[in-house]
Amino acid sequence: MRYRAIIGRDLRLAYRRRGELATPVIFFVIVTALFPLALNPDPALLRTLAPGVIWVAALLAVLIGQDRLFKTDYEDGSLELMLLSPISLEWIVLLRVFTHWLVTGLPLVILSLLLAMMLDYPMHAIGILVMSLLLGTPILSFLGAIGASLTVGLRRGFMLLPILVLPLTIPVLIFGAAAAGRAALGDHSAAPLYFLGAMLMLTVTLSPFAIAGGLRVSLES
Amino acid sequence: MEQQDVLAVENLDIWRGERCLCRNLSFRVSSGEALQVQGQNGAGKTTLIRVLTGLGRADEGDVLWRGESLRRNGERYRASLAYLGHSNGVKLGLSPRENLTVAGALLDKPSSADIGAILDRVGLHAQADLPCGMLSMGQRRRTGLARLLLSNVRLWFLDEPLASLDVAGVKLLTEMLKAHLNGSGIVIFATHQAIELAPHPVKSVLLDSKA
């Protein structure tokens, strides 16, 4: 009941600020569309590049959306209330990052279907691409939230966040793009997907502690 | 209410950078008492209140609630306090009613108090379903006050509670504080203006960074 109210609050706020949420999605589409323009729009080339392009664009889009995660709550004092709540901050953070992924990460996964077609990504492998993004983008959301928690008190935090978090996202990118790339070639892609699954479990269980710690430090002064 | 609750501060040192905000500060506040934190702008009133809530960190000393250090007892301590800071903790995208629903969800035990009745009491009956972004600063403050009424806790921490309240708002706040003290509550607030809470005793702490 309580948890539903916390999720409901974020969904409601997200719905009332739809425009803001559209930014990462539009960014995702534009970045992906830039590649065929800059490179040779040869279908064979695009097909090889597609997994990497979609993954890099998704990674950047998730991270730029993450900066706002705690910012407004920090500014209007709601974050203090969450810290002062008897409900453990780790739980609250877990719920909130998941909700944030629902409204920022999930649209990217859905849109990737369209972009994959645009880049002539083979249709038989599209399930694996979507699967890799479904497993991978939540990891990115949680890693981004660690950066957001540390930079929430800084005015230029949005510049610092990607620099802090991008190195951490490299394994996700490697396994995510590998799964989608192998599937396109008709190879087995179970191994990288398993790795992504393991990383997802790890970040979901451990990162809330890091995020909560980051928020406590950020609000201490 | 039989039990006498005490918030005790022992030998508190707070430094911010090179500046000492307080040294060896000790005081006790018990049920039915109010404590006013006084000091000039920048003396560290907000910092002290944040340290008392557990949001901030003291360099030395300890805060004890019912005899237990809040460092060791954070969760139970947070279940017995409510805090109204400079920023009200009000989401501008949500209506007062929605704000209170969320605030209620963040409480330990769901209060039985009716949100509609509380909004009536703070004078937001007509604005209950408007987004708080459309309300005036004073009305947002009143939403913050409504949050205090919703929480069924012993300790209230208020940082500049009079800010942006009109005459009727100040009267409402005074009545709320008196009722809270009557129910054996404890109020700790930082203001420049005095709040008349007679017959309840108001202790005071003066922060003077030169000392």
pLDDT digits (tens, 9 = 90+) for B63-83: 999 888 888 888 889 988 999
Query: Which chain B residue lies closest to A215 (C-alpha atoms)?
Result: B55
Q: Which of A144-158, B102-116, B119-133, B178-192 is the least confident region?
A: B102-116
Q: What is the interface pTM, i.e. ipTM, of the complex? A: 0.88
Query: What's the rounded mean pLDDT across residues B52-63?
Result: 90
Q: Encode pLDDT of A159-206 as tens digits.
A: 888 889 999 999 999 999 999 999 999 999 999 999 999 999 999 999
Q: How many domains would you assign to chain A?
A: 1
B94 vs A contacts (CB less than 8 Å):
9, 12-13
Residue B39 pLDDT: 87
Q: Range of A199's domain?
A: 2-220
Q: Is the pLDDT of residue B137 over 60?
A: yes
Residue A25 pLDDT: 92
Helix, coil or strand: residue B39: coil
Question: Hey, of A84, A95, A218, which one would you mutate to test binding to chain B, going by the most B CBs within 10 A of its CB?
Answer: A84
CA distance A70 to chain B (A): 12
B206 band by pLDDT with thresholds 50, 70 and 90: confident
B56 vs A contacts (CB less than 8 Å):
220-221
Residue B210 pLDDT: 59
Query: What's the rounded mean pLDDT across residues A98-127?
Result: 94
Q: Are B169 and B141 in contact (CB under 8 A)?
A: yes
Q: Is the pLDDT of residue B108 over 90?
A: no
Residue B178 pLDDT: 93
CA distance B199 to chain A (A): 31
Higher pLDDT among residues B17 and A97, named by residue: A97
B110 vs A contacts (CB less than 8 Å):
1-2
Residue B1 pLDDT: 44
Residue B122 pLDDT: 92
Q: What is the DSSP string of A178-219?
A: HHHHHHHTT---HHHHHHHHHHHHHHHHHHHHHHHHHHHHHH
Q: Are A100 and A73 in contact (CB under 8 A)?
A: no
Residue keyed to tokens 């949100």: B115
Contact (CB<8Å) B98/A9 = yes
Contact (CB<8Å) B55/A2 = no
Residue A78 pLDDT: 92
Contact (CB<8Å) A76/B90 = yes
Residue in A13, A85, A221 nearest the CB of B91: A13
Q: Is the pLDDT of residue B110 over 70?
A: no
Q: Is the pLDDT of residue B140 over 90?
A: yes
Closest CA to B88 of B133, B152, B41: B133
Query: Which chain A residue lies closest to B106 (C-alpha atoms)?
Result: A85
A76 vs B contacts (CB less than 8 Å):
87-92
B134 vs A contacts (CB less than 8 Å):
none
- A217 at B interface, C-beta within 8 A: no
Residue keyed to tokens 């590649």: A35
Query: Which chain A residue lies closest to B131 (C-alpha atoms)?
Result: A16
Alpha-carbon distance of A48 to A188, in angstroms, equals: 17
Q: Which residues of A185-204 are buried (b: 16+ CB within 10 A; e: fewer)?
A: eeeebeebbebbeebbeebb
B198 band by pLDDT with thresholds 50, 70 and 90: confident
Contact (CB<8Å) B55/A83 = yes
Residues of B at the A interface, defined by Cβ within 8 angstroms: 16, 53-57, 75-76, 78-79, 81, 83, 85-94, 98, 101-108, 110, 131
Q: What pTM was estimated for this model as a whole?
A: 0.91
CB pairs under 8 A between A and B: 83
Residue B157 pLDDT: 94
Q: What is the DSSP string of chain A?
A: -HHHHHHHHHHHHHHHTHHHHHHHHHHHHHHHHHHHHHS---HHHHHHHHHHHHHHHHHHHHHHHHTTTTHHHHHTTHHHHHHHSSS-HHHHHHHHHHHHHHHHHHHHHHHHHHHHHHTT--GGGHHHHHHHHHHHHHHHHHHHHHHHHHHTT-TTHHHHHHHHHHHHHHHHHHHHHHHHHHHHTT---HHHHHHHHHHHHHHHHHHHHHHHHHHHHHHH-
Contact (CB<8Å) A75/B88 = no
What torsion, rounded to 10 degrees, do the Cα atoms B74, B79, B82, B88 define? 80
Contact (CB<8Å) A16/B93 = yes
Q: Is the pLDDT of residue B158 over 80?
A: yes
B3 band by pLDDT with thresholds 50, 70 and 90: low
Higher pLDDT among residues B164 and A205, named by residue: A205
Q: What's phi and psi for B62, nearest 5 deg? A: -145, 155
Alpha-carbon distance of A216 to A180, in angstroms, equals: 38
Residue keyed to tokens 């990737």: A112
Residue A183 pLDDT: 93
Residue A3 pLDDT: 86
What torsion, rounded to 10 degrees, do the Cα atoms A158, A164, A168, A170 define? 70
Higher pLDDT among residues B108 and A134, named by residue: A134
Contact (CB<8Å) A85/B131 = no
- Residue B17, by phi and psi: left (phi above 0), alpha (psi -120 to 50) or beta? left
CA distance A108 to chain B (A): 25
Q: Is the pLDDT of residue A90 over 50?
A: yes
Q: Is the pLDDT of residue B14 over 50?
A: yes
- A221 at B interface, C-beta within 8 A: yes
Query: What's the rounded mean pLDDT across residues B105-114?
Result: 74
Query: What's the rounded mean pLDDT across residues A39-47?
Result: 88
Residue keyed to tokens 């005081």: B27
State the average pLDDT for chain A: 92
Contact (CB<8Å) A80/B55 = yes
Contact (CB<8Å) B106/A219 = no
- B-contacting residues in A 17-36 (Cβ below 8 Å): 17
Query: What's the rounded mean pLDDT across residues B111-131?
Result: 87
Query: Which chain A residue lies closest to B50 (C-alpha atoms)?
Result: A220
Q: Is the pLDDT of residue A17 over 90?
A: no
Residue B211 pLDDT: 47
